[in-house]
Chains A and B, each alone.
Chain A
Amino acid sequence: MSKIRLLVGTRKGAFVLTSDGKREKWKVDGPHFAGWEIYHVKGSPVDPNRLYASQTSAWFGQIIQRSDDSGKTWFQPGLAPGEPATTPDGMPKGESNKFVYDTSTATGKPLTTHMWYDGTQHPWEFKRVWHLEPSLTDPNHVYAGVEDAALFESKDGGENWKELAGLRGHGTGPKWQPGAGGMCLHSILLDPKDSKWMFIAISAAGAFRTDDGGKTWKPINQGLHSQYIPDPNAEVGHCVHHIAMHPKRPKTLFMQKHWDIMRSDDAGDSWHEVSGNLPSDFGFPIDIHAHEPDTIYVVPIKSDSEHFPPDGKLRVYRSRTGGNKWEELTNGLPQRDCYVNVLRDAMTVDSLDPCGVYFGTTGGQVYGSANAGDAWNPIVRDLPAVLSVEAQTLP
């Protein structure tokens, strides 16, 4: 029977939740990296025992952790447990937490400043990794979306990282600016039908696309309308909160923008709004049913200044029509006095049939539905604030 493994990143450590295919009883392991912020944990689609974790701290910076045994043990790439810390000639091993922006003129002429909150230019400063996206074909190849916004990749299992500098260097960088949560590259979508295609999103810059494996990039924000920026239809400057793609239809994208649910059917060349009858179209996560490319999920919150569900009722909204027509899903979710938020990487789906849907809250609950959202149950109620949830469907 299949198994489900949920990889949960929280403000105070990582947790691994496992269940059989019924998804009724769960085992909770953790905390791993207790006391550290774990922005994201994700497994390789090629080798599900290979996990990558972003461990971060305002005090001690960014650490990349890797597990090759499905989360039982962890190590910093380049520093396997028990190995000597130095090479035979005395040189230190391990550079896994070294993210250095490419400032060379030879590889993309990267920018060195972006727009600051006060409108002045500000140097790029590395802070943390928000999102890790393992390659679809090679467990040693992994992408990292970082704050201040840039895209890095490692081809040696997370030991060494190199910036794909063409993204920052393509021309609009001086207009990028941080949102309230920082200027983060939080979404990385890999096209399963064409390995050269990739989509990323940055808050608050917008969405971008490459069709040559990351060498060159273009903004894909036509149709986005953001009233909170000087030019509501600007090429960049939009606060995109998350984007999602179904692997069977990779040129159709869904977006949870700061406000508005958006859809593109031409790989981001144009977008149209599909917020429809939602009680609020502000929110952070958006995800897609594993088997139905037009079934999408969002968790509306009240507004940009009130990050909690409208009316204190925690409701997931599902559209089976690719947007515009939404149904509220409340069975098993608190319908009074609930003032949690669901962050952008904290919703995921498994690939069983019926599809499982999961999300974590800033109140420390992880909810799961084994029937595509019709009914929900709390898997665990009292974790630290949840930053991310990823599902692995295991044989």
Chain B
Amino acid sequence: MIRVVLPHHLRTLARLGDEVELKIDNSITVQSLLDALESNYPALRGTIRDHVTQQRRPLVRFFACGEDISHEPLNAPLPDAIANGAEPFFIMGAIAGG
């Protein structure tokens, strides 16, 4: 299972706990992870990436194994530690203002 940690506001929006577990059958990428996340929790559609362009919202960041991978290609394979559930994938709101 893939583990995902969401920012506080998205947890409350989707009525979720500290971590979300996702089952992904195909390759483990940001793209497939977000597809699975939105499919399971459609309340999150449009909050992480744009409905139409599918681009990451500017103040949302992606972290894997301590690295900011927000600008990496969405279809690049995620690290093994994410793929095997040893480490969670973090979706975070950027630090910006009150």
Contacts and interface: CB of A to CB of B under 8 A. Distances in A.
Interface string B42-83: 110111101110000101100000000000000000000000
Contact of A98 (B7, B46, B57): B46
Interface in A173-201: none
Interface of B is mostly: loop
A217 to B, nearest CB: 24
B45 A63 contact: no
B86 interface: no
Nearest to B94: A59
Given A35-B9, A59-B60, A100-B51, A92 B45 contact: yes
A299 to B, nearest CB: 25
B9 A36 contact: yes
B46 A97 contact: yes
Interface residues of B, number: 27
A347 B68 CA distance: 44
Contact of B93 (A60, A79, A86, A97): A60
Contacts of B39: 86, 90, 92
Contacts of A61: 46-47, 50, 57
B10 A60 contact: yes
B48 A60 contact: yes
Interface in A72-98: 76, 78-79, 81, 85-86, 90, 92-95, 97-98
Interface of A: 34-36, 57-63, 76, 78-79, 81, 85-86, 90, 92-95, 97-100
Contact of A93 (B42, B48, B60): B42
A54 to B, nearest CB: 14
Q: Considering residues A57, A59, A62, A86, which has the most beta carbons from chain B within 10 angstroms of its beta carbon?
A: A59
Contacts of B57: 59-61
B59 A58 contact: yes
B60 A94 contact: no
Contacts of A94: 42-43, 45
> Main SS of the interface on chain A?
loop
Contacts, number: 67
Given A98-B51, A100-B51, A57 B45 contact: no
B42 to A, nearest CB: 4
Interface string B19-42: 000000000000000000011111
Contacts of B52: 100
11 contacts: A35-B8, A59-B96, A61-B47, A63-B13, A85-B43, A90-B39, A93-B42, A94-B42, A97-B45, A97-B47, A98-B45
B43 A59 contact: no
Nearest to B60: A59
Q: Which 4 A-B pairs have the closest CB atoms?
A: A60-B47, A92-B42, A59-B93, A59-B59
A330 to B, nearest CB: 32
Nearest to B39: A92
Contact of A86 (B40, B60, B94): B40
A270 B93 CA distance: 48
B33 to A, nearest CB: 15
Nearest to A98: B51
Contacts of A59: 7, 9, 57, 59-60, 93-94, 96
B42 A60 contact: no
B17 to A, nearest CB: 15
A119 to B, nearest CB: 25
Contacts of B50: 61
A59 B44 CA distance: 12
B45 A79 contact: no
Contacts of A85: 40-43
Given A57-B47, A60-B9, 18 more contacts: A58-B97, A59-B57, A59-B96, A60-B13, A60-B47, A60-B57, A61-B46, A61-B47, A61-B50, A61-B57, A63-B47, A79-B43, A85-B41, A92-B45, A97-B45, A97-B46, A97-B47, A100-B52
